[in-house]
Structure 1
């Protein structure tokens, strides 16, 4: 169980750290777009659309990494003061009842949508836009798969704690 959890964690960590660089690139490109437009009076649709693509990829592909780092917002009125076993039970139930079913639903419901986009090699609605909307849409099922896999890690870690095995920190 620990080996599987570590493999999924490492994969999500690698993807998350790689796409995190898109945040810096997004700021630089957006700054360039603004300077080009308002200082030089020139616009570039590819640059403008690339910011949207980067934002989409960053949000969708880094979500599982954020989850692995426990960085998502949690209403922790009870969770914060709970014992490690109680937290593990909440994590197990949350992943089993909410997280994984939603991730499966997102992946399943987006599959044909993304497949159709790939079939026609969907591009931008603008004539001179980026011809890769199908690539951007691929991030939707990837999001579901990565977050669902991280949900499995949450369940495995919770089961380890509940069975008296290693604590959360030692599994990472």
Structure 2
């Protein structure tokens, strides 16, 4: 089980490390946009949309990595003071009854829009923009799949914690 969890975690680890470079590229693109607009007086919609695409990709594809490194926001005031065993039980409950159903519902309801967008290769958001809205919409199910992958890995890790606590 440890090997399975490790393999699942590597998926989000590779994606998260790659997205670090995407963040740098987004920053450079935004710098170019500001330079072109305020120094040279030029503005290009496709460059502005490029920042939007980078931003969406970083956040949507990076959610699984954020979960992997335990950097997501926790609002449970009892979790921090709980024992490791109690934390594992809370996490197991959250994975099974909150995370997984929510992501499956999101995939279910977003899939027709994504499929339809791919069917027509939906064009730009704005006139003169990037002609690939279908890629942007595809981030929704990708987000769900990556979080589900990490949720399974975390579920396995929590089961291991409970087994270790029982031994």
Distance 1:162 1:106 in 2: 30
Greater mean deviation of Cα atoms: 14-23 or 135-144: 14-23
Q: Does 1:11 align with 2:11?
A: yes
* Contact in 2 for aligned 1:12/1:146 (Cα 8 Å): yes
1:21-170 paired onto structure 2 within 5 Å: 21-164=21-164
Distance 1:46 1:11 in 2: 30
Structure 2: segments with no counterpart, 5+ residues: none
Structure 1: segments with no counterpart, 5+ residues: 166-172
The alignment yields a C-alpha RMSD, in angstroms, of 1.5
4+ runs of 1 displaced by more than 6 Å?
none
Deviation per residue, 1:48-67 (Å, 9 max, x gap): 11000000100100000000
TM-score, length-scaled by structure 1:
0.91
* Contact in 1 for aligned 2:125/2:133 (Cα 8 Å): no
